[in-house]
Chain A
């Protein structure tokens, strides 16, 4: 029952504010359990969908289809799994971390609304519904970025809001052009009409509008301006959600779905993907080097990693798209891990400036270890998960004869390693900064979340053939059609 993926989190969100009066711990438990239930349901679908099935659900009114339908194929399932995986650990982390920020029940309600919006977005078959769900997730996102905050941080949320409005406007504008040309916004209908006589120049404008709108959501260069302000401003688990999945679902999922089923991946579009990818990868990595704020560095690193995904998609081959999707999945795991670790560091020390920290590795052993694992994973060091997806991106680039881009991608991953090792040298190693002698490791819930995510980095790295076979390749098939050869 696909509707449950949307209704369940919404229903729990609705009762959440009431629960606060019953018990303090109840909202914590319920939020995590809800996400866990979603995850369990998704796992039930994995074998079915990997076998090539597509699950449909359609609303009916007195036996007549009511124009609202949901569909789950390989791509939807990949994103659903990623959403609940990250959301689960963020929710566990929040149970302790969010305590000083205000009412946790309101926080969880917003978080669940955001999840419901994202789930709806990846399941819907209609572009207008996609837009609505995108707004649902985004509005919850604005509120969460500014949740319980003051001063500069609210400004970060506001900037995020203002640029997102530009994004949604351009998406809506493009949708109206498409509706004007075809008379429908249903994805299956649009897919069947692909190539029909449409105004080529207007289509080009539509694609450009989509690229701008979704590019803003993703934060790919040059649409990235809001991102380094918004990520550090948000509470740490929300930074993790934004970087790990919200941007990827509202941006990359929607963009891929529309480009592949409505327009098809033309050489021009893949060329633009590659250019955006190279720009993001390099600008993000180089700007990350100069950063002294842990989360701002991670924000630039996210821009850089998105570049790798775009490079994969830009090849247009099945291998490249598989690589991009796999990197997206892995990025969700290791980048949310790093954002949560940044949160743990702030929680334990109260300091955000990396240069004012020092030698905390011995005081915060779990945070130190998990950060190291996250760093290795991001930089693509085996046996962690990031190694495989970066390797596949580079192999796909070589396979598509983009040698120069492949060399740049390798170079950028050395830069990645370098800025992260510099971060570790400033904050975690060396002499313990005066005044930090009495800091203690973060409470169990937070340490548990980061530890599990670090373990996942290792587990995915070791069991990667299972992940690619059951989650990634069905996603590629969903995009490119079953007949597409994998090379």
Chain B
């Protein structure tokens, strides 16, 4: 390997990191410099990611770091190069968007710094080939996650803390899995790990895949995302939960289930992944359906769609895995566009409350157009990209012979389309609401429109010409893997008419009718179109509970259980031992030290009693060992 290829692996990490640190140091007075710096840095990153992708060879950089097999090891197989390229693309587009959206906002300098540092750390995590290096980059993302949410507004800290704790806990699961994998294989070098998925290996797989899925936002690690949708700056939502975290999490899940382990169709681990995927599809989409806020509705979809990716990868069939990975890319694109359109609406109208929006199509035609392209993509309407990848997932799920998973996926499709009909109808069509804070909204500026247009264009391109991404991005990932039997020419079947497509189209029709029914029932108020579902006898109660955080693991665990056990420990260890020592002291007093108790206060005597007790225990252990 030559010196050039070594540098090129470092550049996508170092350039954004250096620019991020530099941004923090910039004086506040320099206007426009931070934006320019961020654009140049992400542009350079994109360039090098492209060069690396084009290079077509598996470059590696290995610097011995410290003993114990921990080396600074970067390696770029095709999968990593593809994710890096996609990530770099989103990085520059989101930077461009933020230059307009964040201008004049509170603490925007920090926002750009975090944006760039996040980019560097993500690229590092994608390229690392040593688990310790991976953990370093992976967990470093926690810091910028915390930072980016907390600068949303002055009261955003509880949400930032929640996101930090949930992601931190998930990272620890990942860490445990890595420890197990290390213990089994004896190495930290990722490219050398190929494990059996039985016994301890299965435990390692479950822990690592939970960590990876949590990064992607799957249930039950999702609860911070809807909160962040309201509290964090909007580009954050498009940047992390919609794009980079999906890429990173599903990338890792893909590596885990294709490379470190091999998932066979209908093995217990495959069922585990598919079940988690199916649950993640269905429940959040039901929550999304009844939301009445633009951003919050989107955030539930950011969770629900992960389910399709996990389900696809979990099927263990070539078409399912390819579909899951393709869906990851497609999702990052349309969800990014959707959030960006939300940002555009928020910037121009001053609100994202659906009851206060309406009739924006005339005022903001380009935003509306991009929104509808992305909305039809996410709903799986042909010929957009989401249609192709969802069909592949349906096929894969059906192939496993467990129809329940395919049914869950179709169920998700119904409510996805219904909720987007509601969202699009209530914000872009109908009458303009009189409650809208800005009564004369205008179309956003170019810096915000270009990223939306580019990605929306991509959604159409990857739908109509799905063979391009499938052939250049997805197929080489699967090449040579044991799950693949026969040729992998998925795109040949993309627009075949078969009964699975028929069912999918039926789902879309049901969704459309559901929306019409709800719209008519609510007296022509589009934002209330989901009320018939909301008001179903049992559903209503469940929805109330969900909104009251009854299903929020974080709330249960951290705000109730730990507080309780801390109090219990306090009573047991501090007070309990206190009482014990009160009696213990009588015995100690007989040995002549008891007079200390009279000379000093009781607390001091307690401390001393602990010391003596500890000494007696230690001496007893050691002396009895010596006597053996």
When C-beta atoms are compared, the residue in chain A nearest to B611 turns out to be A223
In the complex, chain A residues 248-267 whose Cβ is within 8 Å of any chain B Cβ:
none
Residues of B within 8 A of A286 (CB): 565-566, 569-570, 573
Give which listed residue, A224, A410, A418, A486, contacts B165 with CB less than 8 A.
Answer: A418
Question: Contacts A225-B608, A391-B132 given; 7 further ones with Cβ under 8 A?
Answer: A163-B604, A204-B622, A208-B622, A287-B574, A289-B563, A391-B135, A417-B168
In the complex, chain A residues 359-403 whose Cβ is within 8 Å of any chain B Cβ:
362, 376, 381-383, 387, 391-392, 394-395, 398-399
In the complex, chain B residues 155-213 whose Cβ is within 8 Å of any chain A Cβ:
155, 157-158, 161, 164-165, 168-169, 172, 175-176, 179, 182-183
Residue with the greatest number of chain B CB neighbours at <10 A, chosen from A166, A362, A415 = A166
Q: Are A487 and B68 in contact, with the CB atoms below 8 A?
A: yes
B429-445 CB mask vs A (1 if < 8 Å, else 0) is 00000000000000000
15 contacts between A and B (CB under 8 A): A200-B626, A200-B627, A201-B627, A208-B622, A212-B618, A223-B611, A225-B611, A268-B625, A272-B622, A387-B136, A391-B132, A391-B135, A395-B182, A430-B157, A465-B72
Q: Are B66 and A469 in contact, with the CB atoms below 8 A?
A: yes
When C-beta atoms are compared, the residue in chain B nearest to A163 turns out to be B607
Shortest distance in angstroms between A406's beta carbon and chain B's nearest beta carbon?
A: 7
Give which listed residue, A268, A406, A417, contacts B179 with CB less than 8 A.
Answer: A406
Report, as a range, how many residues of chain B touch the other chain.
Answer: 35 or more
When C-beta atoms are compared, the residue in chain A nearest to B620 turns out to be A208
Q: Are B574 and A418 in contact, with the CB atoms below 8 A?
A: no
Shortest distance in angstroms between A243's beta carbon and chain B's nearest beta carbon?
A: 18
Residues of A within 8 A of B625 (CB): 204, 268
Q: How far is the CA of A216 from the CA of B618 in the complex (A)?
A: 13
- For residue A40, CB closer than 8 A to chain B, the reply is no
Q: How far is the CA of A170 from the CA of B619 in the complex (A)?
A: 13
When C-beta atoms are compared, the residue in chain B nearest to A272 turns out to be B618
Given contacts A225-B606, A286-B569, A290-B566, contact A170 B66 (CB under 8 A): no
Q: Are B619 and A205 in contact, with the CB atoms below 8 A?
A: yes
In the complex, chain B residues 449-469 whose Cβ is within 8 Å of any chain A Cβ:
none
Residues of B within 8 A of A413 (CB): 172
- For residue A74, CB closer than 8 A to chain B, the reply is no
Given contacts A268-B622, A286-B569, A395-B179, contact A163 B68 (CB under 8 A): no
Shortest distance in angstroms between A474's beta carbon and chain B's nearest beta carbon?
A: 13
Q: Are B626 and A203 in contact, with the CB atoms below 8 A?
A: yes
Q: Are A410 and B157 in contact, with the CB atoms below 8 A?
A: no
Shortest distance in angstroms between A59's beta carbon and chain B's nearest beta carbon?
A: 36
- For residue A473, CB closer than 8 A to chain B, the reply is yes
Residues of B within 8 A of A425 (CB): 157-158, 161
Residues of A within 8 A of B569 (CB): 283, 286-287
Give which listed residue, B600, B611, B622, contacts A166 with CB less than 8 A.
Answer: B611
Decide if the interface of chain A is mainly helix, strand, loop or mixed.
helix
- For residue A4, CB closer than 8 A to chain B, the reply is no
Given contacts A201-B623, A382-B140, contact A216 B179 (CB under 8 A): no
Q: Are B574 and A383 in contact, with the CB atoms below 8 A?
A: no
Q: How far is the CA of A159 from the CA of B605 in the complex (A)?
A: 10
Residues of B within 8 A of A162 (CB): 600, 604
- For residue B3, CB closer than 8 A to chain A, the reply is no
In the complex, chain B residues 591-628 whose Cβ is within 8 Å of any chain A Cβ:
600, 603-604, 606-608, 610-611, 613-615, 618-619, 621-623, 625-627
A138-166 CB mask vs B (1 if < 8 Å, else 0) is 00000000000000000000010011001
When C-beta atoms are compared, the residue in chain A nearest to B569 turns out to be A286
Give which listed residue, A222, A395, A407, contacts B613 with CB less than 8 A.
Answer: A222
- For residue B553, CB closer than 8 A to chain A, the reply is no
Residues of A within 8 A of B179 (CB): 394-395, 398, 406
When C-beta atoms are compared, the residue in chain B nearest to A410 turns out to be B172
- For residue B65, CB closer than 8 A to chain A, the reply is yes
When C-beta atoms are compared, the residue in chain B nearest to A213 turns out to be B615
Residues of B within 8 A of A382 (CB): 135-137, 139-140, 143
Residues of A within 8 A of B150 (CB): 429
Shortest distance in angstroms between B171's beta carbon and chain A's nearest beta carbon?
A: 9
Shortest distance in angstroms between B290's beta carbon and chain A's nearest beta carbon?
A: 30
Q: How far is the CA of A284 from the CA of B139 in the complex (A)?
A: 25
Q: How far is the CA of A298 from the CA of B617 in the complex (A)?
A: 28
Counting from the closest, the 8 A-B pairs by CB-CB distance are: A225-B607, A208-B619, A204-B622, A429-B157, A200-B626, A222-B614, A212-B615, A204-B626
Q: Are B183 and A398 in contact, with the CB atoms below 8 A?
A: yes
Residues of B within 8 A of A16 (CB): none
- For residue A9, CB closer than 8 A to chain B, the reply is no
Q: Are A201 and B158 in contact, with the CB atoms below 8 A?
A: no
Q: Are B67 and A225 in contact, with the CB atoms below 8 A?
A: no
Q: How far is the CA of A464 from the CA of B574 in the complex (A)?
A: 38
Q: Are A222 and B611 in contact, with the CB atoms below 8 A?
A: yes
Residues of B within 8 A of A268 (CB): 621-622, 625
Q: Are A381 and B611 in contact, with the CB atoms below 8 A?
A: no
- For residue A338, CB closer than 8 A to chain B, the reply is no
Give which listed residue, B161, B563, B622, contacts A207 with CB less than 8 A.
Answer: B622
Residues of A within 8 A of B600 (CB): 162
Residues of B within 8 A of A187 (CB): none
Residues of A in contact (CB 8 Å), total 65
Give which listed residue, A200, A203, A212, A429, contacts B611 with CB less than 8 A.
Answer: A212
When C-beta atoms are compared, the residue in chain B nearest to A202 turns out to be B626
Given contacts A222-B613, A381-B143, contact A421 B161 (CB under 8 A): yes
When C-beta atoms are compared, the residue in chain A nearest to B183 turns out to be A398
Residues of B within 8 A of A290 (CB): 566-567, 570
Q: Are B143 and A376 in contact, with the CB atoms below 8 A?
A: yes
Q: How far is the CA of A476 from the CA of B73 in the complex (A)?
A: 26
- For residue A176, CB closer than 8 A to chain B, the reply is no
Shortest distance in angstroms between A277's beta carbon and chain B's nearest beta carbon?
A: 13
Given contacts A283-B573, A410-B176, contact A486 B68 (CB under 8 A): yes
Residue with the greatest number of chain B CB neighbours at <10 A, chosen from A163, A204, A464 = A204
Given contacts A290-B566, A425-B161, contact A208 B618 (CB under 8 A): yes
Given contacts A430-B157, A465-B65, contact A407 B604 (CB under 8 A): no
A205-248 CB mask vs B (1 if < 8 Å, else 0) is 10111011001100000111110000000000000000000000
Q: How far is the CA of A26 from the CA of B65 in the complex (A)?
A: 44
Given contacts A223-B610, A226-B607, contact A430 B164 (CB under 8 A): no
- For residue A319, CB closer than 8 A to chain B, the reply is yes
- For residue B587, CB closer than 8 A to chain A, the reply is no
Given contacts A201-B627, A418-B165, contact A395 B611 (CB under 8 A): no
When C-beta atoms are compared, the residue in chain B nearest to A396 turns out to be B68
Q: How far is the CA of A425 from the CA of B136 in the complex (A)?
A: 26
Given contacts A223-B610, A430-B157, contact A421 B164 (CB under 8 A): yes
Q: How far is the CA of A398 from the CA of B188 in the complex (A)?
A: 13
- For residue B368, CB closer than 8 A to chain A, the reply is no
- For residue B562, CB closer than 8 A to chain A, the reply is yes
Residue with the greatest number of chain B CB neighbours at <10 A, chosen from A159, A215, A222, A362 = A222
- For residue A414, CB closer than 8 A to chain B, the reply is yes
When C-beta atoms are compared, the residue in chain A nearest to B150 turns out to be A429
Q: How far is the CA of A216 from the CA of B612 in the complex (A)?
A: 11
Q: How far is the CA of A356 from the CA of B581 in the complex (A)?
A: 34
Residues of A within 8 A of B169 (CB): 414
When C-beta atoms are compared, the residue in chain B nearest to A407 turns out to be B176
Shortest distance in angstroms between A389's beta carbon and chain B's nearest beta carbon?
A: 12
Given contacts A287-B570, A465-B65, A487-B67, contact A383 B140 (CB under 8 A): yes
- For residue B142, CB closer than 8 A to chain A, the reply is yes
Q: Are A289 and B566 in contact, with the CB atoms below 8 A?
A: yes
Residue with the greatest number of chain B CB neighbours at <10 A, chosen from A223, A425, A473 = A223
Shortest distance in angstroms between A170's beta carbon and chain B's nearest beta carbon?
A: 7
A261-301 CB mask vs B (1 if < 8 Å, else 0) is 00000001101100000000001001101100000000000
Shortest distance in angstroms between A205's beta carbon and chain B's nearest beta carbon?
A: 6
- For residue B558, CB closer than 8 A to chain A, the reply is yes
Residues of B within 8 A of A414 (CB): 165, 168-169, 172
Shortest distance in angstroms between A174's beta carbon and chain B's nearest beta carbon?
A: 11
When C-beta atoms are compared, the residue in chain A nearest to B596 turns out to be A162
Q: Are A473 and B622 in contact, with the CB atoms below 8 A?
A: no
Q: How far is the CA of A159 from the CA of B611 in the complex (A)?
A: 13
